Amino acid sequence: MPTLSAANKLKQLREKMQQHGIDAWLLMSADPHLSEYLPDYWKIRMWLSGFTGSVGTIVVTQDFAGLWVDGRYWLQAEQQLAGSGFTLQKQTASPSSTHLSWLQQHLKAGDKLAINTHIISVQQFNLLEQLAQKYKIDLYTQSDLIDELWIDRPSLPNQPIWMMADGINALSHIEKINHIRQILKAQQSDCLFISALDDIAWILNCRGSDIEYNPVFLAHLYIDHNRVVLFIAANKLDNTLSQKLQQDGIEIMDYTQSAVFLSQLKQATIWIDPAKVSAFHQNALPIHINIHHEINPSTRLKACKHPSELQHIRNAMQRDGIALCQFFSWLENTLADKHDLTELDIDEKLIMYRAQQSGFIGLSFSTIAGFNANGAQPHYRATAEQFSKIQGDGLLLIDSGAQYNDGTTDITRVVEVGQASAQQKHDYTLVLKSHIALSQAVFPKDLAAPLLDAIARQILWQQGLDYRHGTGHGVGFALNVHEGPQVLSYYAPITADSALKVGMIVSNEPGLYHDGEYGIRIENLVAVQNKPVKSDRYGDFLQFKNLTLCPIHQQCIVKELLNDTERLWLNNYHHQVYQSLAPHLTGSALNWLTRQTQKI
């Protein structure tokens, strides 16, 4: 059967909408766990529109089809939506740029808005309900139109899960469950229902491979003061793991029974995270149940890594750094020898070198290897259908990461190809200065993370420059490469959970992008730690400690633009990198490391 075009799929969707009397159809990029990365079964937005970015919201009416994405994806969406029938809607920090604002302006009283409550969070559903009540719009939740259209829809993943080796996690799953029970008691909640996959994997000290790049598995988890229930497809568990979990008091129920279980609850108060539990699951609760809406306690707990876990992460970073030195040495030699090279080769070689390291599981996200204009798309991905050769002069941006059994990595470096222009080198140095500024930041304990974003941007702002993504995101411990609640972005709202805490890991990744020309980003992962000097009058202060071990390429640095403090920081960082990696390298990789870590 020939593959339908996006325009034909859109036509069929509109026909289904007419049959059901639907005026507008809304799709959020999500699954029943409100994940960022989705199993193929839930990649509805990509199947329908052809847009492959990790986020995006769709609204379809009989005479309009729009895709809302933020600035990271404007260029990509513009290219991928061409001829699809969908129109790019540029979402900014302004509330007037959202899909909710569009619905408010274009729907009229009595119109029927279709949503799938399985993949809309309680938080999002509440906003839609408020809009529907205010403007007398009918919310329609009775039918999944896509399931009627997507004939060859993939099945849900069903990969086996495993328990992590002893000694990697600071706490056992029993200790974590007991800790959560103490929090429930303190908050006067009777039970907790969790759908967030990384929270479940963290609590149980288990990992899986149901979702590409994220070592998690499809499941829901229920915890009360006497009972723990894991909702999962039973064939994901081998006999040994199943017996182990059940011996530790964890009941196993089928994945599909979570809503039925919730509908039969007798407890008085249940804790759910409104951003991470679907409206479908909340709607299944009996009417007498009190609902406590708050971020999952496990989300707060897992964000702060134990010192022993940070040491495991440093070990993983060292192995990753060894692989990266081998890769960049190969890249330098290949470029010097004028061999044919494409963006696709970058991904292939990175995987090859990382796979040689012990504990390697896979990538932590799809590699971004963008040469010149492609590097100007922050989330660019080369494909077999669309990629560029790396030849001539310019900049090659490489953002990559790996999952190891004891850590998750994420790093961006920019490589000069041929001869970079004076403007490119100037811009590269500005981004480096921005990176160093945030690396050197000292800030009061419990400061809201979004407030730190300005420290990195200030140098660019002074030049009338900026970038359309956050400066940093949280990173999991051998888990998701994007983890909350910490985020370094002035776009992000400041909440009770915005404060940076000791043990959190965040990325430091300022950038600069000139559409159609080139992009620059320099990224390390850093851990939040106490600043040794304390002040009785002004309280405790925190600082960042670099975790990533890989030289920052020096060819494009305009040394005259760096002050003494910045030079000292770079020299100290490179000394640390050399001391850690040199004993494990030989030949051309060691030579490359030695040259790239010379003092400036």
273 & 326 share domain: no
- Are 310 and 476 in contact by the 8 Å Cβ rule? The answer is no
Q: Is 356 helix (H, G, I), strand (E, B) or coil?
A: coil
pLDDT digits (tens, 9 = 90+) for 511-545: 999 999 999 999 999 999 999 876 678 889 999 99
d(CA 396, CA 373): 9
Asked whether the predicted pLDDT for residue 45 surpasses 60, the reply is yes
Looking at per-residue pLDDT, the higher value among 494 and 382 belongs to: 494
- Is 600 within the bounds of a domain? no
140 & 168 share domain: no
pLDDT digits (tens, 9 = 90+) for 216-231: 999 999 999 999 999 9
166 & 54 share domain: no
Q: Is 327 helix (H, G, I), strand (E, B) or coil?
A: helix
Asked whether the predicted pLDDT for residue 171 surpasses 80, the reply is yes
- Are 137 and 113 in contact by the 8 Å Cβ rule? The answer is yes
490 φ, ψ (degrees, to nearest 5): -70, -10
pLDDT score of 71: 85
pLDDT score of 532: 86
404 & 539 share domain: yes
Of 228, 214, 219, nearest in space to 196 by CA: 219
Contacts of 307 (CB under 8 A, 6+ apart): 503
Contacts of 570 (CB under 8 A, 6+ apart): 432, 436, 552, 562, 600
CATH number for the domain spanning 496: value is: 3.90.230.10
Q: Which domain-ending residue is among 149, 171, 195?
A: 149
- Is 597 within the bounds of a domain? no
- Is 52 within the bounds of a domain? yes
Alpha helices in 249-393 (DSSP H): 258-263, 279-283, 297-303, 307-336, 343-355
Cα 21 → chain centroid = 37
Q: Per the structure, how many domains does the chain have?
A: 3
Cα 112 → chain centroid = 33
For residue 567, give the H/E element and its range.
helix 564-581
pLDDT score of 2: 52
pLDDT digits (tens, 9 = 90+) for 475-491: 999 999 999 999 999 98
Least confident window among 376-390, 403-417, 563-577:
376-390
Domain that includes residue 250, residue range: 162-295
Of 447, 457, 529, nearest in space to 490 by CA: 457
